[in-house]
Amino acid sequence: MFCPGISLDAGGRIFVTGGNDAPKTSVYDSNANTWIAAPNMKIARSYQSLANLSNGNIFHHRWVLEWRPRQQKRRSVERTPMLTADAQGIFRSDNHGWLFGWKSASVFQAGPSKAMNWYTATGTGAQKPAGLRGNDPDSMNGNAIMYDVVNGKILTVGGAPNYQVNDATGNAHVVTISSPGTTVRVVAIGSMANRRGFHNSVVLPDGKVLVTGGEVRPVPFSDAGAVLTPELFNPATSSFSTVNPEAVPRTYHSWSLLLPDATVISGGGGLCGSCSTNHPNAQIFSPAYLFNADGSKAARPVIKSVSATSVAVGTTMTVTTNSAVAS
């Protein structure tokens, strides 16, 4: 499972494909604490991206493929329009796609190529251009994250024109998608305080985005030029602010996740045998919303009731707390 594609399927199971150019598929069921072997992919792959579709299927990028978990079948669609002009050629030009499952079993590809695309995974599948990401170049090893699902808003940050021979940029854009197949709206929002590649982004409960780690010139298995200071994107002002730095570099193969207590865990990096850039550890970031102005811990709202224990796509549920919740 080295450099595989990872996603959560519609049932909340962890879906893992490939890695080290393997064709294997494995599914982890947390309720049963069991790994399940699923059918092999048609094409072995690694460094791929996955996106959950609105119909419960899973779309793969890198030699683009769609997986139908209910029927346990796969089919391919065209991937050429999403390639970057990487100096290392096809080995790198289709890595780490920025994919977002959207309406009507569609997928929006926001990068890392400067050309964005729509994919449909119904019938025999199709591809349609969505326009350029403003003046942003190919941005390999940057990332994108949807911070406003209702309004289709995606933040794209950083990356470099080539996988490992260029300095990264600090570029940031807000991409807004609407109906599948249409040209999207792109707004350049200035730059982060730091140039970054191999970084990670997490949407916080208050709607802001925390960007952690990375390095100014992406080089696999290196901490040279590591960026230790995270940045916080505020959608209300379309601006970035810096927060307290991490103590350990988080570059190639690092990760970050939002935890149930509204803190963020940032960890990993390396995985290169016995080299000095392996970081088998993690740190916890506590956002400002967890504290009062004097530094003491803020009171947390308590959920008193919910209107339903499960909801279908497109429906709503009501959550009642013991106090007002700002966001």
Torsion-angle region of 72 (φ positive above 0: left; ψ -120 to 50: alpha; else: beta) = left
CA distance 98 to 111: 5
- Amino acid identity of residue 108, one-letter, is F
CA distance 279 to 253: 10
Q: Do you find a cis peptide bond into 301, omega within 30 degrees of 0? A: no
Non-local (6+) Cβ contacts of 45 within 8 A are: 5, 17, 18, 21, 23, 60, 62, 63
Which of 47, 119, 163, 252 is an active site residue?
252
CA distance 177 to 322: 36
Q: How many helices and strands in the chain, by DSSP H and E?
A: 1, 25
CA distance 60 to 45: 10
Active site residue 28: no
CB 83 within 8 A of CB 96: no
Positions annotated as catalytic residues are: 252
